[in-house]
Chain A
Amino acid sequence: MEAVENRKERPQWRNDLKKDEVVIEIKGLKKSFGKKTVLKNINLTLKRGENLVVLGRSGQGKSVTIQCIVGMLTPDAGSVKVFGKEVSELSDDELKEMRTKIGFLFQSGALYDSMTVRENLEFPLTRVLKMKDRNEINRRVEEVLDSVGLPDAGSKMPSDLSGGMRKRIGLARTLIVHPEIMLYDEPTTGLDPLTSREISELILKMQEKYKTSSIIITHDMECAEITSDRVVIMNEGEYVAEGTFEELKDSKDEFTRSYF
């Protein structure tokens, strides 16, 4: 709760950041699947240290947008720049390097179910960062397990974990490589209200600890309220409203207000 109560004050580390440095810039993004146009014209910027929440009904292309950011999907038109580089123009090695700076938390957690929690956490360290120092690997694993409040979960299999625990471990696995940007795809979907709140608070706490910039895609208004610096609302492949949570809550536009 402490992180949430302190939310109104901008933490010092974010004041120290290079002012208004843009880490993600999307201009005129379009994406269709067959005859169905999912993204019509997306324009978006994410500044360093900012938490941006994207709201919208299911099937509006929220997840497609973040999949274009990490290069999982190629846009039909428009520009997606991450750290100033056009994603579609990156070579395989450049794309891989860029991905090491971005953490992606999937809706399901996407834990590797044939590995224990510890092996899941070690995977990005040994395969992506190519770390060999066993002491450093152990230190990082224990640090993130402590951070997400599951210090004893290392030997468990993903099938032994509850939905909330899977999300926590999924978050730990993305944070273990110390990414600069975090992309959350519906982090609280399928969880009970109490666990949803815990995950939202954890997102905020982790942002403070690891000093990340984040895009959070959600339907959960409480999650949006807790985590957001700025909120955008998406409808039919376009962003139709933008502002702080409070600004949008008091909006005169009926469609925008309908979310609150």
Chain B
Amino acid sequence: MAEEVLTGWRSWLESAGDQGIFLTRFFRNIFKGGFEWSEFVRQCYEIGYKSMMLVGLTSFIMGLVLILQLRPTLVSFGAESMLPKTLTVSVIREIGPVITAIICAGKIASSIGAELGSMKVTEQIDAMEVSGANPIQYLVVTRILATSFMVPLLAMIGDVIALIGGYIALNITDKISFFLYFNKCVGSIDFTDYMPALIKTVFFGFAIGFVGCYKGFHSNRGTESVGIAANSAVVTSSLWIFFIDMVVVQITNLLYYS
């Protein structure tokens, strides 16, 4: 049993070391010449544009449901007028970025993990490496930068759609003009609300891309490992999202509210 525990810890430490090396290789390759712009744009399209529908739909439902759930409680306190503000603050600060990132972890991290895992299994990454090309620059740098760039963009779009969902929900029971609703929404947030949220989505995107690429790149031989890479990319990146969220909230509280 002691040996099992030791082996477990050793492999965990080895994996942590591997991730450190992989991260160093990523940063070293960003600043090397010959950035793959066309592949970066292709990845932005694959990662961002093709996830927009899913993020949009989820955000719309989320905004709608939040208003429907919040309304009875706020009505009982006679604070109906607080509905747009409550929704905006919760969506912009927390729910929008986290839900978008979790959806992206499920869709993007798994697809990157599976794609690179299958390239590893079919020796395509090895072929790239022995030809003298740089697989980190072509496959990893482009994907991680694309997720770091597109996840914040998706989160912003998702936030706006969630507010539209909230407006529609509010109009099912009450009457409020579109102009007044959005005036209340925009008026209820400031720099300390949207800036930390925007920054944390960059980290969420980085974690999604990094974990997907690492899991794919380090998958073992055999088709089973492709599935394992995809699955573990989702689980690990989701955990990272919550961890990053916790750290950013603590830092934000220290900076702005202490």
Contact = CB atoms under 8 A, between A and B. Distances in A.
Q: Do A and B actually bind?
A: yes
Interface residues of B, number: 16
A102 interface: yes
Interface in B128-165: 128-134, 138
A239 interface: no
Given A127-B138, A130-B34, A113 B124 contact: yes
Interface in B162-217: none
A204 B137 CA distance: 35
Contacts of A102: 130
Contact of A72 (B126, B133, B134): B126
B224 interface: no
Of all A-B residue pairs in the complex, the 7 with the closest CB atoms, nearest first, are A110-B127, A99-B132, A110-B123, A100-B132, A127-B133, A128-B132, A104-B130
A112 B125 CA distance: 9
A111 B124 contact: yes
A186 B50 CA distance: 40
B132 A104 contact: no
Nearest to A185: B123
Interface in A145-173: 173
Interface residues of A, number: 24
- Max chain A C-beta neighbours (<10 A), residue from B34, B119, B132: B132
A97 B132 contact: yes
Nearest to B131: A124
Contacts of B127: 104, 106, 110, 112
B122 interface: yes
Contacts of B133: 123-124, 127-128
Nearest to A176: B131
Contacts of A96: 132, 134
Nearest to A124: B131
Given A127-B138, A130-B34, A110 B122 contact: yes
Interface in A97-132: 97, 99-100, 102, 104, 106-108, 110-114, 123-124, 127-128, 130
A177 B132 CA distance: 11
A110 B123 CA distance: 5
A127 to B, nearest CB: 4
A2 B34 CA distance: 44
B131 A112 contact: no
A173 B133 CA distance: 13
Contacts of B134: 96, 127
A123 to B, nearest CB: 7
B132 A110 contact: no
A235 interface: no
Contacts of A123: 128, 131, 133
A112 to B, nearest CB: 5
Contact of A124 (B34, B123, B124, B132): B132
A41 to B, nearest CB: 25
A128 B124 contact: no
Interface in B208-258: none
A127 B130 CA distance: 13
8 contacts: A96-B132, A99-B130, A106-B127, A107-B123, A108-B122, A112-B127, A124-B131, A127-B34
Interface in B111-129: 115, 119, 122-124, 126-129
B49 to A, nearest CB: 17
A218 interface: no
Contacts of A99: 129-132
Contacts of B115: 114
B131 A174 contact: yes
Interface in B13-46: 34
A70 B127 CA distance: 11
Contacts of A128: 131-133
Given A124-B133, A127-B134, A128-B131, 15 more contacts: A70-B130, A100-B131, A104-B127, A106-B123, A106-B127, A108-B123, A110-B124, A110-B126, A110-B127, A112-B124, A112-B127, A123-B131, A123-B133, A174-B131, A177-B131
A73 to B, nearest CB: 11
A203 B129 CA distance: 22
A127 B133 CA distance: 6
